[in-house]
Amino acid sequence: ARADDPLITDLEAQPWTQYLGDGVDAAPYGLPSEHEAHVVRRNVAWLTADPVSSVNFTPLHELEGIITPNGLCFERHHGGVAQIAPSEWRLMINGLVERQLVFTLGDIMRFPRVTRAHFLECAANSGMEWRGAQLNGVQYTHGMIHNVMYTGVPLRHLLEEAGLKGSAQWLLPEGGDAAGMTRSLPLEKALDDCLIATHMNGERLRPEQGYPARLVVPGWEGNMWVKWIRRIEVGDRPWHHREETSKYTDLMADGTARRFTWEMDVKSVVTNPSPQAPITHGHGPTVLSGIAWSGRGAIREVHVTTDGGINWHQARIEGPSLDKSMHRFVYEFDWDGAPLLVQSRAVDSAGFVQPTKNALRKVRGVNSIYHNNGIQTWAISSEGEAENVEIS
């Protein structure tokens, strides 16, 4: 900061003081400033064959706090976005129930509702990094995550309305999109904290996120959060469908595949600085900011290093610390302008510590795609440029 600046003292230099601006109805549904037009979801064209069965990524390096704005939540769909009129949406519960039931949206809105913030992380987040540093930006290495305040009906209420038979142990939620996604969900989890969500961050779900209703499975891999949900079959054993056999299983070093790795393990990443968000102000007071989350509870601590792990510092958790929700951490330091190796390491309320990538590879090998929660390293040059690297 300095004592004088013509942008303050010379009113002529500020055209916006010379005209009357737009009136109140110029944007009935508001949009961000035109100066923020670069803050968008982006995809990586070569990752998938076609955008209808693809993914784009949340611009984590442009966000602060813990809530992901609705228009920036990454999208992952296997058959494109289903366009469902709320009047034509139905949810069936059938199988091992006393009464097969079909709910309308109006029916759903008459059950007691709850509001909770939860992260959704695709199991494939950071999946491109198993064999080494690959994508140069936190948006691409970690952007298959969003954190949203959901409002919805506990699934427990709907199951109670249908009446569970004594042999009921598993559920098969099914999506109403062209992909007809299905996953086996243990009944215990459904009764514990799953929701049929209708609202995100106060407004109705966006079409991309499953409008008019999606399943919320707190802390568990994103694939299970069935969008455009249309049916829940109640059974006594898992179904072993495509998304839990050929996909969303973890190929281990010995060639066997691990199934049903539902929980998302403790993870964190520094979002600023990062390759898409270099330090532009030179040496001096510097704010490092990042996110941490765990599918097993809240985040207890985040440690940050700027010298590749020689010295670790406790970061400050800033903002709400909620169960199975994203946490924001910040670490303020005085940068001397020398190159840095920046990392963060989170510890969750269940006592799990985020591993290094090499520790993870020792157990998992390098053939995995899913569940990579290894520690991320950014190399910062003396110019403040950041690069995705690995150190041993």
The pattern of x and - marking residues 208 through 247 that bind Co ion according to CB under 5 A reads --------------xx------------------------
Minimal distance, residue 216 CB to ligand MTE, in Å: 10
Residue count at the site for ligand MTE (CB under 6 A)?
21
Beta carbons of 73 and 58 less than 8 angstroms apart: yes
Nearest to 223 by CA among 245, 198, 251: 245
The pattern of x and - marking residues 138 through 157 that bind ligand MTE according to CB under 6 A reads --------x-----------
Does an H or E element contain 157, and which?
helix 155-162
Minimal distance, residue 333 CB to Co ion, in Å: 35
Q: Select the residue whose beta carbon is closest to ligand MTE and give its number.
A: 175
Q: SS3 of 106, please?
A: helix
Rounded to whole angstroms, how far apart are CA atoms 294 and 300? 10
Give the burial class of 111: count Cβ atoms within 10 A of its Cβ; 0-12 exposed, 13-18 middle, 19 or more buried: middle
Q: Is 62 left (phi over 0), alpha (psi -120 to 50) or beta?
A: alpha
* Residue among 116, 118, 227, 328 that touches ligand MTE (CB under 6 A): 227
Residue 10 has which token pair? 């010379």
* Cα separation values, 43 from 39, 53, 269, Å: 13, 12, 20
Rounded to whole angstroms, how far apart are CA atoms 270 and 371? 18
223 binds ligand MTE (CB under 6 A): yes
233 binds ligand MTE (CB under 6 A): no
Stretch that binds ligand MTE, among 40-48, 153-161, 219-227, 312-320 (CB under 6 A): 219-227
Residue 277 has which token pair? 């968000």
368/377 with CB nearer ligand MTE: 368
181 binds ligand MTE (CB under 6 A): yes
244/348 with CB nearer ligand MTE: 244
Rounded to whole angstroms, how far apart are CA atoms 293 and 360? 18
- Which residues have C-beta within 8 Å of that of residue 214, sequence separation ≥ 6? 196, 197, 205, 225, 226, 227, 228, 229
Rounded to whole angstroms, how far apart are CA atoms 270 and 255? 33
Residue 236 has which token pair? 């006594």
Site for Co ion in 70-129 (CB under 5 A): 76, 122
209/272 with CB nearer ligand MTE: 209
* Residue among 60, 84, 122, 194 that touches ligand MTE (CB under 6 A): 122
225/262 with CB nearer ligand MTE: 225
Minimal distance, residue 262 CB to Co ion, in Å: 13
**What are the residues binding Co ion (CB under 5 A)?**
76, 122, 222-223
**What are the residues binding ligand MTE (CB under 6 A)?**
73-78, 120, 122, 146, 175, 177, 179, 181, 208-209, 222-223, 225-228
